[in-house]
């Protein structure tokens, strides 16, 4: 079994063991702004601002913006890494201050 599939199955089993819900979803190569916003956990207007400000790449198909699935998933992964790093930094500060 490929390592990626093994890691996926392990994650699913761990989530189920914790009692978490698990959803399996496929995504097309190009996403609408509505779907991309859902994947990123932001509102569509927030995503449109992010596109306008160059925070995430998008292209136009007619009058509509579209985003590559890989760009959205990469952006989500980077955001998660930043949140984890910020949380770890906060935890270290609390440890230094003796807060619990």
- pLDDT tens per residue across span 33-49: 999 999 999 999 999 99
Residue numbers of the domain that contains 92: 28-97
Between CA 49 and CA 60 the distance in angstroms is 15
Segments of the chain with pLDDT less than 50: none
Judge whether 3 lies within some domain.
Answer: no
Judge whether 84 lies within some domain.
Answer: yes
User: For residue 1, what pLDDT is reported?
Assistant: 85
User: For residue 43, what pLDDT is reported?
Assistant: 98
Judge whether 71 lies within some domain.
Answer: yes
Judge whether 45 lies within some domain.
Answer: yes
Entry pTM: 0.71
Judge whether 17 lies within some domain.
Answer: no
User: For residue 100, what pLDDT is reported?
Assistant: 63
Between CA 10 and CA 55 the distance in angstroms is 32
Judge whether 90 lies within some domain.
Answer: yes
Q: How many structural domains is the chain composed of?
A: 1
């Amino acid at each position: 079994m490929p390592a990626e599939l093994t890691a996926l199955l392990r994650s699913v089993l761990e989530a189920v063991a914790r009692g978490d819900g698990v959803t399996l979803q496929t995504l097309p190569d190009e996403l609408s702004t509505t779907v991309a916003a859902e994947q990123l956990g932001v509102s569509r207007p927030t995503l449109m601002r992010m596109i306008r400000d160059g925070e995430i790449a998008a292209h136009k198909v007619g009058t509509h913006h579209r985003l590559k699935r890989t760009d959205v998933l990469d952006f989500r992964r980077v955001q998660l890494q930043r949140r984890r790093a910020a949380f770890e930094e906060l935890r270290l500060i609390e440890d230094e201050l003796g807060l619990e």
